Amino acid sequence: MILLGVNVDHVATLRQARYRDEPNTHGGFVEPDPAKSAWLAEDAGADGITMHVREDRRHVQVEDVIRYQEKMRTRLNLEVSLAPQMVELALSLKPESVCLVPENRKEVTTEGGLDILSHIERSRDAVKAFIDAGIPTSMFIDPDEKQLEASAEIGSPWVELHTGSFARSWYDATRRATELATLRKGMEFGISLGLRVNAGHGINYDNVEGAKQLDQVYEFNIGHSIISRSITHGLQEAVQKMRAGLND
């Protein structure tokens, strides 16, 4: 079975669109609440929850993470950048796992994988800090053999393959086949290196048909499409449909 991690960042994005500069004076968190959405996703069958705390706090806030953890029933996969202050923050929050991702201040959502080769020592130090704290670490990377080798070399037990190029190519049959083959090759190479392979980014209710062909991927982390569908179908149905799509 392929597991489903539900990313609730875009719930926080919607909240911040209105309440970014408004202090929390309501005796709770203003709507919509990413922590509450995370609990609902768990009720619907999510195998885990992903939250990305960015350096500029553009969507998920530290308070969201803490509040979620108070009633968490599955596990938290916390995404952070390699910045030293973010590594320290992640260590203090003690999530069940961490995924190290690139950050670009101009991007709306993460685009592209982390270039480990260009940040090899920082990556190594971060992975060691998390492993010493008993927190498994995943590197969010493109399905590139050199990046996979670097992930294994620095001691990261997991990787998460960036599926954005595949997702964008879905409606072009030739490109779709090429991108899926690239992901499959990356998946198989990562497994041969002893890595646990997760995947995510841009997976939706159409291209999940191709994504599930990557049947040795341990877990897909999916957010935007699930949160989008929840507007018209409800979060429970959206989570259950995606989880079934990965495994039917």
Residues designated as active site? 52, 79, 201
How far, in Å, CA of 106 to CA of 70, rounded? Answer: 32
Torsion of CA 211, 97, 30, 205, to 10 degrees: 10
Tell me which DSSP letter residue 30 carries: P
Contact yes or no for 219/2 (Cβ under 8 A): yes
Contact yes or no for 193/148 (Cβ under 8 A): yes
Q: Which of 182, 171, 179 is nearest to 204 (CA)?
A: 171
How far, in Å, CA of 19 to CA of 23, rounded? Answer: 8
Q: What residues pair up with 140 in beta bridges, in sequence order?
A: 160
Backbone angles phi, psi at 161, to 5 degrees: -75, 130
How far, in Å, CA of 61 to CA of 24, rounded? Answer: 12
Q: In terms of DSSP bridges, do strands 219-222 and 48-52 run parallel, antiparallel, or are they unpaired?
A: unpaired
